[in-house]
A = this chain, B = another copy of it.
Amino acid sequence: MTWRYLINVTGAVVSNEETESVLRLQIDATDGQARTGVVHTARGSFRTPCFMPVGTRAAVRTLTSADLEKLGAEVILGNTYHLMLKPGADLIERFGGLHGFADWHGHVLTDSGGFQIFSLEPKVTDEGATFKSTYDGSYHHLSPEGSVEVQQKLGSDIQMVLDVCPPLPSTEAVVRAALERSVLWAGRAKAAQAPARDAGSKQAQFGIVQGGITVAMRTESAQRTLDIGFDGYGIGGLSVGETRDEMLPALAAVTEVLPTERPRYLMGVGDPVSIVEAVALGVDMFDCVLPTRLARHGTILTSAGRMNLRNAKFADDPEPLEPGCLCEACSRWSRAYLRHLLMVSEPTAARLTTIHNVHWLLRMMEGAQAAIAAGTFDQFRSQVASVWD
């Protein structure tokens, strides 16, 4: 797969040179459409399918980089919207990007900022989006080119293009307009990244497929994004209000179009059943705040399903959160102790439940990898569905 420059928004040809992708997906095994393998980057490699914990403001809430190393996380998300406002991309750049700032030696993927900004009811033109900061009410502007520049400064291993993500349900006209503008912006984002790539940057760039839950629009968006050509492909605009039954056909339409040799990243999806169903359709990467947010509210992920630790029946329970679990929380403390800390709002609770939930989901992804390699992914998928649906 090669990286082609495209005609930019003004019509000028930026470059017609071909550049090798900075990122390579090595597929080790497949089971149906599901695949497991290794993504190789300039930094190193990470196994897929993978879950990427979300470090919104340069930290996964309650955790340190040391905690994430122990958990075996391989890719962490950073959030362009939050980080460009506080502490600012220039500052993070001076500290060696997010890796240097947070002393994190694994991979970092940054989103484009679009998802958060579109939730702030911005003023949007083809040029870009003007939005009001949730920190201090000040106005800021983000364009496809601006998002590329911010993400260059954040120094992520993988940057995402700025896209337009409409909520669901939306009218067909809204979904169509979002698709068109996302394609337009994707081209400009690639053009904006081209000089850095020419200069030897190893930062990968992923395009993002939109199109709501309409199969035809998903197919079209995937094809047009693919025509621009990226190191990998995000699938955005899902898990934003639709049911899983509405999501999966739209997702299937996308993975059918996308090339097998490029990583596919289903954005913002983190519930176990949706992850496993998406893996079955050939998706490789996932992120979501769900496991960490649930943890802080006392909802524990276990192989028997969700467990509400606030439930009074756990007050006197000497078992660990999940018997047999090897996470730091389960290796030492009882449900009774963790529930007590949670009920009296001791911050120690949120950290330990977060460690458990992230551990659990990372191990579930390893289970998916192993099942694909063993050719038993269907059983794995049924088992997850039977517990979680």
Chain A interface residues (CB < 8 Å from chain B)? 57-66, 82, 86-87, 91, 94-95, 101-103, 135, 315-316, 318, 328, 332-334, 336-337, 340-341, 343-344, 346-348, 350-352
Contacts and interface: CB of A to CB of B under 8 A. Distances in A.
Contact of A87 (B315, B328, B333): B315
Contacts of A328: 64, 66
B350 A347 contact: yes
A91 B316 contact: yes
Q: List 6 A-B pairs, minimum CB-CB distance, nearest first.
A: A59-B348, A87-B340, A103-B332, A62-B347, A57-B344, A59-B346
User: Assembly of this chain: how many copies?
Assistant: 2
Contact of A86 (B61, B316, B334, B344): B344
Contact of A334 (B82, B95, B340, B344): B95
Q: Which among A58, A82, A316, A340 has the highest number of chain B CB atoms within 10 Å?
A: A340
14 contacts: A57-B340, A58-B340, A58-B341, A59-B341, A59-B346, A62-B347, A63-B348, A64-B348, A64-B351, A86-B343, A86-B344, A87-B336, A101-B337, A101-B340
Contacts of A341: 57-59
Nearest to A354: B347
Contacts of A87: 315, 336, 340, 343
A347 B343 contact: no
B351 A347 contact: yes
Contact of A65 (B86, B102, B332): B332
A337 B102 contact: yes
A64 B67 CA distance: 13
A94 B318 CA distance: 10
